[in-house]
Amino acid sequence: MNLKSFYCSLIQKNIECRENEKMDRHTTFKIGGNADIFVCPKTKKELSFALKCAKDNDVSVFILGKGSNLLVSDSGIEGAVICLSNLDGVSVLDNTITCGAGANLSLICTTALKHELSGMEFAYGIPGSVGGAVYMNAGAYGGEMSQIVKGAYCLDFSGNEVYIDNEKMNFGYRNSAFKQNGLIVTEVIIELNKGDKNEIADKMQDLLSRRKDKQPLEYPSAGSTFKRPLNNFAGTLIEKNGLKGKTVGGAMVSEKHAGFVINFDNATALDVKNLIKQVQDAVYKNDGIMLETEVIFVGK
Task: State percent of the chain over pLDDT 70.
Answer: 100
Distance CA 3, CA 92 (A): 40
Q: Is-catalytic flag, 5?
A: no
186 touches 101 (CB < 8 A): yes
Q: Which of 241, 227, 235, 231 is nearest to 278 (CA)?
A: 241
Mean pLDDT of 186-205: 97
With H, G, I as helix, E, B as strand and everything else as coil, classify residue 200. Answer: helix
Distance CA 148, CA 145 (A): 6
CATH of domain 90-214: 3.30.465.10
- What per-residue confidence (pLDDT) applies to 224? 94
Q: How confident is the model at residue 24 (pLDDT cuts 50, 70, 90)?
A: very high
Mean pLDDT of 233-260: 97
pLDDT above 90 (res 1): no
Alpha carbon of residue 198 to chain centroid? 29
Catalytic residue among 121, 144, 187, 294: 294
**Domains 90-214 and 234-298 fall in the same CATH topology:** no
Q: Which of 145, 136, 135 is nearest to 109 (CA)?
A: 145
pLDDT above 90 (res 204): yes
Mean pLDDT of 210-219: 94
Distance CA 38, CA 176 (A): 26
Distance CA 230, CA 251 (A): 27
pLDDT above 90 (res 233): yes
Q: Is-catalytic flag, 174?
A: yes
The tens digit of pLDDT for each residue in 152-192 reads 999 998 889 999 999 999 999 999 999 999 899 999 999 99
- What per-residue confidence (pLDDT) applies to 182? 87
Domain ranges in the chain are 3-83, 90-214, 234-298
Catalytic residue among 68, 73, 118, 224: 224
Mean pLDDT of 20-41: 98
Distance CA 204, CA 197 (A): 11
Question: Is 3-83 a domain of CATH 3.30.43.10?
Answer: yes
Mean pLDDT of 219-228: 96
What pTM did the predictor assign?
0.94
Task: State percent of the chain over pLDDT 90.
Answer: 97
Convert 126-194 into a string of H (helix), E (strand) and C (coil): CCCEHHHHHHHCCEECCEEHHHCEEEEEEECCCCCEEEEEHHHHCCECCECHHHCCCCEEEEEEEECEE
Please give the mean pLDDT across all residues of the chain: 96
Q: Which of 26, 27, 10 is nearest to 18 (CA)?
A: 10
The tens digit of pLDDT for each residue in 58-104 reads 999 999 999 999 999 999 999 999 999 999 999 999 999 999 999 99
CATH of 234-298 among 1.10.3720.10, 1.20.1260.10, 3.90.78.10, 3.90.550.10: 3.90.78.10
Q: Is-catalytic flag, 224?
A: yes
The tens digit of pLDDT for each residue in 120-156 reads 999 999 989 999 999 999 999 999 999 999 999 999 9
Max Cα distance, the chain (Å) = 58
Catalytic residue among 174, 176, 187, 221: 174
Distance CA 54, CA 94 (A): 39
